[in-house]
């Protein structure tokens, strides 16, 4: 049952919690929802699909004009790496931008900072990407200079979470560093910032928007963390003497976090990561695409096929040659996804059989030209073993990816010495577990980054080795819903703004 807190609006809050629980399970019982769906109505919500306005000027009191939002990456000169960047080491800082966002729309953040850094793509070629750091309000009184009369190290943050937003897009102008100016999708960033952690969000798809390119995503995640840690002490005031680092991602975000955890030991052996949290993981893209096709999630099949071929010229050539030139399912309609956010693609291709775009139907998708790159770059468990303590959580009835596929890679990692707690939630599906798992994910990070003992979260963490636990956690999104839900979504006008 939903937990009802005391205080004003007790009856209304309890009633809403019960209604949300019933309506969410009623809607998810009949469809395969991605995490871009409202937990209340089941409808696609473009909370991470809306782009900042291009007509965004505002006038300050001194009559000087400033932009409310940064321009998209393709029109922002800051995203162009400096000459000679290829020779820099992975994780090297190429450029920084302090006070990055002119308008900050995420609660509990006091400022933003961006870093352009060198990384490595899936083919081991030099690449670059961008990381955006959100600084918590609790950090406002931090002064680390010991010669300053205002010295106050106790106010300085010591936790950094590299957080993977599931952007699910094959459009470089839908990168998190740009879209997060409008709002955050789920409220997870708000909650991490409330706990006093720095939140680093990498554009892990890289400059070409290589959605579902796992090695690219893992490299970009690790190099973003390297880059930020190299300057976080002197420039951002992070307590490097007590620094603790975590990784966290759900669904598409878990794709990046999990590959980073696998690759860390060999790609970034000097980087100490204290915890990884992997929610709703999709260990095999082939299985996931089969399950998402011809449903409301079909748009993610399109963006995954485009994303996985960005760095693979032969596969992209094969793809282009096998798309119908004319007809209702044609090449132009398919390639339009390269200018869509993930939410827009869900809307545009909802219910379509994506294989209808191919000359030979599903046979073209299963052709070795396509499957070889998927097997090389979009299958988990093949690139290393997570050596940091890890928390995996997934719905036992996840309709996008079989829970057994995650159980298999967890078992494999455990046989190789990993330290993992794996929760299988017997209630709900993929979309539900996003919300149901959040408090456990946050509590796990608190235990690992802050040394806080948490009770009542079913988090009995094995000191060594692994534990797989079946839990029964109901969906209760009332206190988890992001701020946009109360201000501009279905909860607007209910007088519960900030209840999340």
Taking the C-alpha atoms of residue 298 and residue 300, their distance in angstroms, rounded to an integer, is 5
Q: Are 247 and 164 in contact (CB under 8 A)?
A: yes
Q: Which residues of 156-180 are buried (b: 16+ CB within 10 A; e: fewer)?
A: bbbbbbbbbbbbbbbbbbbbbbbbb
Taking the C-alpha atoms of residue 84 and residue 241, their distance in angstroms, rounded to an integer, is 33
Tell me if residue 251 is catalytic.
yes
Which of 36, 139, 423, 430 is flagged as catalytic?
430
Q: Which residues contact 19 (CB under 8 A, 6 or more apart)?
A: none
**Pairing between strand 198-202 and 275-279?**
unpaired
Taking the C-alpha atoms of residue 67 and residue 42, their distance in angstroms, rounded to an integer, is 35
- Which region holds residue 99: left if phi is over 0, alpha if psi is between -120 and 50, else beta? left
Q: Are 499 and 489 in contact (CB under 8 A)?
A: no
Number of H helices, E strands in the chain: 16, 12
Q: Is the dihedral of CA 338, 342, 348, 353 positive or negative?
A: positive
Burial class of residue 53, CB neighbours in 10 A (0-12, 13-18, 19+): exposed
Q: Are 183 and 483 in contact (CB under 8 A)?
A: yes
Q: Could you tell me what percentage of the chain is helix, strand and coil, using 3-state DSSP and rounding each to the nearest 5?
A: 40, 15, 45
Q: Are 174 and 50 in contact (CB under 8 A)?
A: no
Tell me if residue 3 is catalytic.
no
> Which of 4, 335, 48 has the alpha carbon at shortest distance from 185?
48
Which residue has tokens 């598409």? Answer: 252
Q: Which residues contact 87 (CB under 8 A, 6 or more apart)?
A: none
Tell me if residue 76 is catalytic.
no
Taking the C-alpha atoms of residue 110 and residue 133, their distance in angstroms, rounded to an integer, is 11
Taking the C-alpha atoms of residue 409 and residue 49, their distance in angstroms, rounded to an integer, is 32
Taking the C-alpha atoms of residue 275 and residue 271, their distance in angstroms, rounded to an integer, is 12
Which of 289, 344, 364, 398 is flagged as catalytic?
398
Q: Are 192 and 161 in contact (CB under 8 A)?
A: yes
Q: Cα-atom radius of gyration of the chain, to the nearest Å?
A: 22
Q: Are 323 and 358 in contact (CB under 8 A)?
A: yes
Which of 251, 304, 390, 446 is flagged as catalytic?
251
What stretch of H or E contains 120?
A: strand 109-120
Q: Which residues contact 417 (CB under 8 A, 6 or more apart)?
A: 385, 387
Active site residues: 251, 398, 430
């Amino acid at each position: 049952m939903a937990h009802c807190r005391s205080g004003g609006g007790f009856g209304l809050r309890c009633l809403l919690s019960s209604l949300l629980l019933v309506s969410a399970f009623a809607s998810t019982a009949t469809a395969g929802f991605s995490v871009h769906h409202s937990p209340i109505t089941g409808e696609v919500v473009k909370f991470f699909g809306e782009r900042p306005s291009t007509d965004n000027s505002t006038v300050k009191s001194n009559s000087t004009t400033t932009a409310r939002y940064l321009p998209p990456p393709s029109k922002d000169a800051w995203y162009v790496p400096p000459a000679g960047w290829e020779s820099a080491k992975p994780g090297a800082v190429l450029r920084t931008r302090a006070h990055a966002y002119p308008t900050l729309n995420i609660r509990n953040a006091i400022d933003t900072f961006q870093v352009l850094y060198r990384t490595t793509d899936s083919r081991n070629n030099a690449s670059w990407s961008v990381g955006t750091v959100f600084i918590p309000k609790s950090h406002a009184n931090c002064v680390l200079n010991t010669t300053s009369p205002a010295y106050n190290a106790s106010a300085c943050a010591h936790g950094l979470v590299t957080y993977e937003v599931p952007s699910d897009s094959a459009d470089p102008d839908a990168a998190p560093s740009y879209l997060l100016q409008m709002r955050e999708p789920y409220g997870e960033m708000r909650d991490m910032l409330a706990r006093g952690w720095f939140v680093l969000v990498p554009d892990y798809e890289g400059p070409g928007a290589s959605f579902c390119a796992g090695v690219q995503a893992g490299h970009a995640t690790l190099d973003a963390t390297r880059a930020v840690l190299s300057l976080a002490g002197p420039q951002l005031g992070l307590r490097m003497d007590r620094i603790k680092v975590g990784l966290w991602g759900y669904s598409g975000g878990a794709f990046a976090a999990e590959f980073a955890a696998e690759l860390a030991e060999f790609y970034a052996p000097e980087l100490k990561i204290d915890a990884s949290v992997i929610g709703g993981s999709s260990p095999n893209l082939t299985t996931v695409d089969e399950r998402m096709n011809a449903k409301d999630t079909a748009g993610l099949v399109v963006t995954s096929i485009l994303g996985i071929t960005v760095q693979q010229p032969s596969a992209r050539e094969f793809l282009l040659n096998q798309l119908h030139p004319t007809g209702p399912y044609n090449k132009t309609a398919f390639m339009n996804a390269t200018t869509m956010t993930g939410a827009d693609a869900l809307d545009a291709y909802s219910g379509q059989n994506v294989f209808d775009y191919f000359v030979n139907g599903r046979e073209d998708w299963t052709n070795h030209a396509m499957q070889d790159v998927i097997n090389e770059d979009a299958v988990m468990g093949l690139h290393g073993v997570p050596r940091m303590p890890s928390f995996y959580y997934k719905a036992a009835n996840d309709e996008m990816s079989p829970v057994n596929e995650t159980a298999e890679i967890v078992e494999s990692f455990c046989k190789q010495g990993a330290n993992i707690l794996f929760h299988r939630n017997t209630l709900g599906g993929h979309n539900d577990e996003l919300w149901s798992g959040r408090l456990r994910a946050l509590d796990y990070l608190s235990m690992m980054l802050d040394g806080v003992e948490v009770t009542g979260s079913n988090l009995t963490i094995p000191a060594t080795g692994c534990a797989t636990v079946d839990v029964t956690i109901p969906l209760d999104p009332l206190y988890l819903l992001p701020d946009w839900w109360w201000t501009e979504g279905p909860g607007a006008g209910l007088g519960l703004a900030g209840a999340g």
